[in-house]
């Protein structure tokens, strides 16, 4: 069954605790944490210190940390120490993607590549045996609230086929512009970890989660 990974980027941080309690009570297992450096992407979010504080209060969530930073190797150990369970990073942001994957695996955590809309699946091909996750970005990274880029449905289908052929249990994550109105198509295209930010937090969170939970059960 597919899972929802709500992105805290869209959460009102003055209501963080209340909202995290709602997620917990609705049975949400993943939290998507977007780390942005104002360099790889034109926005700045939060880093290891904030992730650590959330981790201390909420040990039960699976921390799905999406690094939109240049030279992720410079922050990877701090993100691991902060409590990440999953780390995804962008292959364009480093000369040595495979070395980062090795570092994350040495810490016993899951690692994957996050692919920009124009980035092909080729970057996964020769390291597929070392990937736990492929993250298809369905918007240009940097901001919440953008529209799903339609061409990324095809990338999801291709990625799902690549995963099938690998015979490995790789998670196919999708991030950006997912809403209750397009999640059916996103699921049909093969995604099994679904990030949603603004569509969860900018509405009544409880009723949005009920809709997502219902659709994910099918």
Residue 132: both structure tokens together: 């736990």
21 labelled catalytic: no
Listed in sequence order, the residues at least 6 apart from 210 whose beta carbon sits closer than 8 Å to its beta carbon are 26
**Partner touching 144 among ligand DX5, Zn ion, none, CB below 5 to 8 Å by kind:** ligand DX5
Q: Among 191, 167, 204, which residue's Cα sits nearest to residue 4?
A: 191
Q: Counting contacts by CB under 6 A, is residue 216 touching ligand DX5?
A: no
Angle, CA 167 vertex, CA 161 and CA 170 arms, to 5°: 75
Rounded Cα gap, residues 82 and 100, in angstroms: 17
Half-sphere exposure (Cβ direction) of 143: Cα atoms closer than 13 Å: 7
Q: Counting contacts by CB under 6 A, is residue 195 touching ligand DX5?
A: yes
User: Rounded to the nearest whole angstrom, what is the least distance from the CB of residue 127 to ligand DX5 in the complex?
Assistant: 22
**Partner touching 142 among ligand DX5, Zn ion, none, CB below 5 to 8 Å by kind:** ligand DX5
**Partner touching 91 among Zn ion, ligand DX5, none, CB below 5 to 8 Å by kind:** none
Which is the catalytic residue, given 64, 132, 175, 199?
Answer: 175
Q: Which residues are known binding-site members?
A: 7, 32, 34, 66, 142-145, 175-177, 197-198
Q: Which residues are known binding-site members for a divalent metal cation?
A: 32, 34, 66, 175
Which residues are catalytically annotated? 34, 175
């Amino acid at each position: 069954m597919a899972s929802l990974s709500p992105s805290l980027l869209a959460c009102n941080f003055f209501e963080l605790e209340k909202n995290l309690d709602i997620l917990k009570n609705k049975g949400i297992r993943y939290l998507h944490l977007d780390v942005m450096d104002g360099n790889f992407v034109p926005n700045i979010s939060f880093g290891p210190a904030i992730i650590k504080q959330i981790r201390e209060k909420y040990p039960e969530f699976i921390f799905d940390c999406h690094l939109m930073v240049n030279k992720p190797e410079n922050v990877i150990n701090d993100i691991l120490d902060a409590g990440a369970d999953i780390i995804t990073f962008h292959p364009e942001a480093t000369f040595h993607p495979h070395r980062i994957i090795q570092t994350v695996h040495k810490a016993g955590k899951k690692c994957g590549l996050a692919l920009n809309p124009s980035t092909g699946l080729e970057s996964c091909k020769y390291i597929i045996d070392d990937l736990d996750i492929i993250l298809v970005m369905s918007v240009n990274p940097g901001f919440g609230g953008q529209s799903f880029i339609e061409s990324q449905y095809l990338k999801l289908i291709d990625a799902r086929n690549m995963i099938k052929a690998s015979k490995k249990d790789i998670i196919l994550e999708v991030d950006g512009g997912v809403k209750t109105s397009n999640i059916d198509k996103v699921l049909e295209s093969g995604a099994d970890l679904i990030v949603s930010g603004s569509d969860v937090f900018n509405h009544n969170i409880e009723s949005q989660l009920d809709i997502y939970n219902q659709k994910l059960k099918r």
